[in-house]
């Protein structure tokens, strides 16, 4: 049965008025005040309520508070047991989640309820609407300028053991045999006991735990043969082939082995692929099939993060995370730029200028981004050899033709055909120059051939040498502080979960938590300047606290006529919501 509290209706009397002015102000100026005023009212709880029955079953936990608790758990990087404790006793959580009663029905949540809510939100991708709703709301409240943004990625490790190739084979087979014993005991008992004991013995007794380098090839080949044997033996059992552990074995064989069949003897031979032949998106662990491999950072996932920034040092502005996306570690950063721009355009948080590193700033990406109205400021890949001239050292006209070479000589003639340019230089003036990219094209001339793409890259490389580029690009380094904050404050880089869905759940809600913390810090900075941003909750609670005190004094003097009058005034204020 669904239980949802109306958090938009104001209280006649402030439920937290008994805290005192100083403690109340601490709450209002903390992240709890931001959460209560600007996050709680806009949470998409209707998406969560769809997965509960409206009439049957026991009453659910208050769903708005549960969805808010998911954000707070990731923001503070808490376990389920720690979340239960904070939900029950932490007054900041009570203020943020609008928990006004001390009864168990309101102030207590069991670990199973936390697990169920997280499972529903991760299984149905409800975390992304939460992140977008909170980011969009804070952007409007604090008038965030999204024209300047920066983009980067961070590597994330899930809660899995990092295995070598031998470990991957052994653990995959072990997982299958364990599940086979559990669900199909008759088929398991029919197997050779020596074979099953080889994989199901304790970790310290396993023959695959300590393998000498000289024996690794032989052991890996034996594991490949055992893997193929199990796949072939149970390929005709439909109940077994539908098991996830069996499908992992099939995937492992396809990605790391080759099976060759001898047409004469009708026998099949398993050949182990070399390390270079194994793709980076292959199975890295049977415990986390979604994790992939990056040659520089290792196994895990990659999270793309974009945020706003300001170049005005005198005027402080809120830096807001506008975009988050999780992908495999093997993915290239160049594929993330255009989806990020399109997503922010759809949410009306699109940038006009994006700072990114070299991997994002390919010529194709810059051209597509320009078509979407976004300028990408990024260094170009590739550098010409030191001591030699490149296309960047030539001087060009506005239409792309060469004016003079690096030594100051003008070409005899320039041609343009479609997207290709051809500059012809005299061999008399540059015949002894071996540092130029122009190539001999005849007895008396040299030819410099380039196309529009090479011209664009040359102009970008020339722009990189200017102070204007350096003044723009120096702000890109600020996003490294965001990655550090995500790691130190929310534990993003080392998660307690496995699998793409769980990792996405954590990444989106942790980014949401960072936005809330930043908004609270920004609000405190504004309060110090005597220009506070106060939400409807804090304004209303201040007034209702004053009226509550006045009504209590009138009651003590038995002036019930004035009590009714002041209550009517308060109701009018609530109706117009100031």
pLDDT score of 522: 92
Is the pLDDT assigned to residue 55 strictly greater than 90? no
pLDDT score of 40: 92
Is the pLDDT assigned to residue 444 strictly greater than 90? no
**Backbone phi and psi for residue 342, each to the nearest 5 degrees, phi listed first:** -65, -40
**Backbone phi and psi for residue 309, each to the nearest 5 degrees, phi listed first:** -150, 170
More confident residue, 174 or 540: 174
pLDDT score of 513: 96
Mean pLDDT confidence for 501-523: 95
pLDDT score of 198: 87
Residue 491 burial by Cβ neighbours in a 10 Å radius (0-12, 13-18, 19+): middle
C-alpha–C-alpha distance, residues 401 and 417, integer Å: 12
Mean pLDDT confidence for 470-488: 93
pLDDT score of 534: 46
More confident residue, 578 or 257: 257
472: left (phi over 0), alpha (psi -120 to 50) or beta: alpha
Instruction: Kindly report the average pLDDT of the chain as a whole number.
Output: 85
Is the pLDDT assigned to residue 206 strictly greater than 70? no
Is the pLDDT assigned to residue 204 strictly greater than 70? no
Q: Would you give the DSSP letter of residue 465?
A: T
Confidence of residue 121 (pLDDT cuts 50, 70, 90): very high
Confidence of residue 406 (pLDDT cuts 50, 70, 90): confident
Is the pLDDT assigned to residue 252 strictly greater than 90? yes
Confidence of residue 576 (pLDDT cuts 50, 70, 90): very low
More confident residue, 78 or 264: 78
C-alpha–C-alpha distance, residues 303 and 356, integer Å: 14
The tokens of 189 are what? 């008992």
How big is the chain by its Cα radius of gyration, in Å?
32
Contacts of 162 (CB under 8 A, 6+ apart): 285, 298, 299
Is the pLDDT assigned to residue 561 strictly greater than 70? no
In this structure, are residues 512 and 71 in contact, taking their beta carbons and an 8 Å threshold? Answer: yes
- Give percent of the chain above pLDDT 70: 87
pLDDT score of 533: 47
**What is the tens place of the pLDDT at every residue in 520-558?**
999 887 765 444 444 444 445 555 555 555 555 555 555
pTM for the whole thing?
0.84
C-alpha–C-alpha distance, residues 226 and 216, integer Å: 15
pLDDT score of 538: 47
Mean pLDDT confidence for 149-162: 93
Q: Helix 244-256 vs helix 165-183: angle between axes, to the nearest 10 degrees?
A: 150
Is the pLDDT assigned to residue 27 strictly greater than 80? yes
Mean pLDDT confidence for 250-275: 88
More confident residue, 445 or 118: 118
- Give percent of the chain above pLDDT 90: 55
Q: Select the highest-mean-pLDDT range: 291-305, 401-415, 517-531.
A: 291-305
The tokens of 424 are what? 């012809």
Q: Can you name the residues that pair with 151 across neighbouring β-strands?
A: 306
Mean pLDDT confidence for 285-297: 91
More confident residue, 240 or 384: 240
Lowest mean pLDDT, pick from 135-149, 327-341, 420-434: 420-434
In this structure, are residues 308 and 149 in contact, taking their beta carbons and an 8 Å threshold? Answer: yes
Contacts of 455 (CB under 8 A, 6+ apart): 391, 396, 400, 421
Q: Helix 500-528 vs helix 478-490: angle between axes, to the nearest 10 degrees?
A: 110
In this structure, are residues 62 and 44 in contact, taking their beta carbons and an 8 Å threshold? Answer: no
Lowest mean pLDDT, pick from 36-40, 96-100, 388-392, 411-415: 388-392
Strands 267-272 and 257-262, bridge-based pairing: antiparallel
**What is the tens place of the pLDDT at every residue in 306-355?**
999 999 877 888 999 999 999 999 999 999 999 999 999 999 999 999 99
Q: Would you give the DSSP letter of residue 157?
A: B
């Amino acid at each position: 049965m669904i239980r949802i509290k109306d958090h938009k209706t104001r209280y006649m009397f402030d439920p937290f008025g008994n805290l005192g002015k100083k403690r109340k102000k601490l709450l209002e100026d903390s992240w709890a005040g931001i959460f209560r005023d600007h996050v709680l009212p806009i949470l998409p709880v209707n998406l969560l309520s769809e997965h509960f029955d409206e009439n049957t079953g026991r009453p659910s936990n208050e769903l708005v508070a549960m969805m808010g608790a998911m954000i707070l758990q990731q923001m503070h990087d808490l376990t389920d047991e720690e979340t239960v404790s904070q939900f029950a006793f932490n007054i900041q959580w009570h203020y943020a989640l609008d928990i006004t009663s001390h009864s168990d029905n309101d102030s207590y949540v069991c670990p199973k309820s936390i697990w169920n809510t997280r499972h529903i939100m991760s299984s149905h991708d409800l975390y992304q609407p939460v992140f977008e709703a909170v980011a969009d709301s804070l952007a409007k409240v604090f008038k965030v300028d999204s024209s300047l943004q920066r983009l980067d990625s961070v590597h994330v490790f899930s809660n899995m053991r990092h295995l070598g190739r031998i470990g991957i084979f052994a653990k995959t087979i072990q997982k299958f045999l364990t599940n086979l014993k559990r669900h199909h005991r008759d088929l398991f008992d029919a197997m050779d006991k020596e074979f099953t004991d080889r994989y199901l013995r304790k970790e310290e007794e396993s023959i695959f735990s300590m393998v000498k380098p000289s024996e690794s090839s032989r052991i890996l080949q034996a594991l490949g043969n055992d893997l193929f044997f199990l796949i072939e033996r149970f390929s005709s059992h439909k109940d077994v082939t539908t098991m996830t552990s069996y499908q992992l074995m099939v995937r492992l064989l396809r990605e790391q082995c080759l099976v060759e069949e001898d047409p004469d003897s009708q026998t099949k031979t398993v050949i182990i692929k070399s390390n270079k032949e194994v793709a980076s998106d292959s199975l890295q662990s049977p415990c986390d099939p979604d994790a992939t491999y990056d040659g520089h950072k290792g196994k895990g996932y990659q999270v793309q993060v974009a945020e706003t920034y300001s170049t005005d040092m005198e005027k402080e502005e809120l830096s807001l995370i506008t975009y988050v996306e999780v992908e495999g570690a093997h993915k290239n950063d160049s594929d993330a730029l255009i989806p990020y721009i399109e997503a922010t355009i759809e949410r009306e948080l699109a940038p006009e200028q994006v700072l990114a590193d070299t991997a994002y700033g390919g010529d194709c990406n810059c051209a597509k981004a320009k078509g979407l109205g976004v300028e990408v400021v990024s260094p170009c890949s590739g550098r010409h050899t030191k001591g030699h001239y490149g296309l960047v050292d030539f001087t060009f006209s506005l239409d792309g033709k060469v004016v003079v070479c690096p030594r100051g000589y003008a070409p005899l003639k320039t041609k343009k055909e479609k997207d290709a340019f051809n500059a012809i230089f005299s061999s008399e003036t540059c015949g002894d120059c071996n540092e130029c990219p122009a190539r001999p094209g005849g007895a008396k001339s040299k030819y410099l051939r380039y196309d529009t793409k090479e011209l664009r890259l040359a102009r970008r490389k020339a722009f990189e040498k200017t102070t204007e580029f350096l003044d723009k690009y120096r702000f890109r380094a600020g996003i490294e502080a965001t990655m550090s904050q995500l790691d130190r404050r929310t534990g993003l880089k080392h998660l307690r979960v496995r699998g793409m869905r769980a990792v996405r759940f954590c990444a989106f809600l942790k980014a949401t938590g960072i936005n809330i913390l930043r908004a609270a810090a920004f609000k405190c900075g504004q309060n110090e300047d005597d220009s506070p941003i106060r939400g409807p909750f804090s304004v209303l609670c201040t007034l209702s606290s004053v009226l509550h005190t006045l009504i209590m004094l009138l009651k003590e003097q038995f002036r019930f006529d004035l009590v009714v009058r002041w209550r009517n005034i308060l109701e009018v204020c609530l109706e117009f919501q100031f």
